[in-house]
Structure 1
Amino acid sequence: MAETRKASRFIVPVAVAGVAAATIGLVPALAASGDPDLPEITAAQLIEKIAASDTQTLSGTFRISTDLGLPALSGLASGLGGGGTSSADPTEKLTQLFSGSHTLRVAADGPDRQKLTLLDGSDEYSLVHNGADVWAYDSKSREAFHEKLSDDRGDRGEEGPEGLPGSPKQLADEVLKAAGDTTSVTVGGTAKVAGRDAYQLVIKPKQNGSTVESVKIAVDAATGTPLKFTLASVEGGKPVLDAGFTKVDFGRPAASEFDFKAPKGAKVTEGAAEKAGEDAGAESGGHGGPFGDALPGGLGGGLADLGGDGVNVIGEGWTTIAKLDTGAPAPKTEDAPKEFQGFLDSFGDKVSGKFGSGTLFKTKLVNALLTDDGKVYVGAVTKDTLVNAANAAK
């Protein structure tokens, strides 16, 4: 037990970097091949086209590649002492989408039926929302996870297929909500995506100090549906996030696509809402959609969720920084359990300034400064911007 409590102190910087990476900013790098000749359109008109899109049905193949510049996360969950959960639980299984490249099959038929299948060689992981039921099944472990949705979570007509976690539509909506005076929005030509003619919406910060270089959203010229989303870092290299369809069909999928019955002999785990009853299910909401915010593209919650009323916001726009005061000295990396030491050291740098000293946990998108006196500064900003903010707050 002592070792478990000791380990939990070192989850904080990992959680800060990981959760913030899922809730701040976005970036691009869309390769154009055989660009179609389409009528000219302004950025405002293209944004209106996205907003007016009412795609309710689709199916296809989806490819998502994520490169946050983090060391491998596999096996980290087991080091947290979080045993006892099903391998089919979406919050456990889908963390692998934080790194590497993955192929998924997706299908949607309005707000009540969606299906996502993660392909991993001959193994498949399926997540199915059909009415009031959410099922997940891991063919490798032969484990299933089931949760019964309460009425307020199962009836969300406004979400539609964009409720699919990490979909280009969901990602585009989050970026467009944040666009303002600190943002440049232009049309950057056209592209072919999944065999469809598309416009490219290019979004860039006007401010210096952001880790975001740009965001590109490929928008279907006919329907206004975002088909591809690419997020690039000022550090260059591979995109931080490259998510889009390789095949897409806007026809209605067969109803049988969303049928699910746990295979004979499979171990079935019921979700917390199902086990605790309807009232507990309503209280445990906050999943952000039928499939929740388990994917990197979930983007729900925001930085304020990390510390509630204890979060102070510094700056605005793309250089916004969240400051948290833990009220306790930061744990020393050398005191961490062995399973965490290498992980923390691999993306943590010692830094100092007028604020004192601390450790900077870095990714290609989000950086977090944990000072030795227990303050945390986190944002999609460069190292120097974080240090300057800490110095100014001293």
Structure 2
Amino acid sequence: MFLLPQPRADVEAPHAPVVDLVEDSETIEALLRICYPIKNPALDQPLNAIETMLRAAMKYEMEFPITVLTDHILSLAERTPLPVWAIACRLHLEHVARHAAQQLRVVTSLDFNSLGGMDGICAGDYYRLREFHRMPTPLGTQIAFLSPADTHSAEIDHSSREWSPVPFPDDQPPTLICRSSDGVEFGVHKDVLCAISSKFSDDIGALELTSDVADDTARDAQTTAQESKLPVLCVNARAALLAPFLRFCYPRMATPSLYDLHTITDVLCLAQMYNADTVAREVERFWEPEAKADPLCAYCVAVTRGLRERAQDAAKDSLGKSLDGVYLPELEDTPALAYHRLLAYHTSCRAAVTGLLERRFPPGDAAPLRPPLQLQVLPRKFLRHLPQNRSQPVLQPPRCPLVDISMEDSGPLPRRNG
């Protein structure tokens, strides 16, 4: 080929198109070396670097690099099964997750602490691996590691809850329109909202300045419609949440009905966002009985909304029930680290109560609690005996740091298809 006529050296080569990529040069170079018919790069980098390469290969649909990198990760599962499982969760690689889980069969206990923050892993993934590890092998083979067994039961849609129009007092005409994020408008009264919320007061004040300019324009256009004179305040909440929130703002109105923990929590978050303390206190009355009836659900919902104190209370309430084999669709939206901390909290509290009972009934006594204690559920009457020593914060349920977590602590959860 070198005998073929070559282009003149002084001829400027045409400019090649430039594509900007977000990946670093090392990642792109490794992928291109796999693609080209040259010696592949040495895949002796740390697992997190291999994961970055595989993520980029999947993003750009590079089939051959995907195969090479996936095979390499599978080969590491025997030595580092738990980190490989974590990568499979983040990249949604079902067969890799299954292979890593099978390698974990020989492990006596799962050391999830080695995964650190468990970024990008949801509590549902954690639950399925834990169940696979504690179940007999014939049953374990039926588990889908990265998706719920019943995909329909895992779909939670609280956006389509029915709500009734708000019959606000009609003795005074409305002075403001509150528009929800889905376009529903509510006629309300400025004075009521300003008295309830300092943030509403600030927002309405800023809105009135804008409305003055709009009114001047409307007068110039000889607009006389009554509707044009009402300022519109846009609220970042769906009508199904804004309607009960506004009802709480009117003390003479009947208390609205809140449907479930999700609705209650969302209205509570809305009240906190607008510094409406009176509304928040009213909504919390609905929270408490629902949370005690389903503390695991309450814990998950509180964690995903960043309600730390509510999560701590729910963690304490959950001590009365074993978490083994308990699945909720809410686990799919809860960070794995939060679920891990809840399980560790249960283990620590069981150990504390077991130690308390064994000291109360030493082995030499004719105690009724024999064979040796293996508590799976903590009776409520024992909870008050948990140590209150400040040096043992794990045993203080109301202030337990094990549930001090929000969505930001563990990174974004992966988007799942199907």
Query: Would you say same fold, with TM above 0.5?
Result: no
Higher RCO structure, 1 or 2 (CA under 8 Å, sep 6+)? 1
Larger radius of gyration: 2
- Decide which structure has greater strand share: 1
- Decide which structure has greater helix share: 2
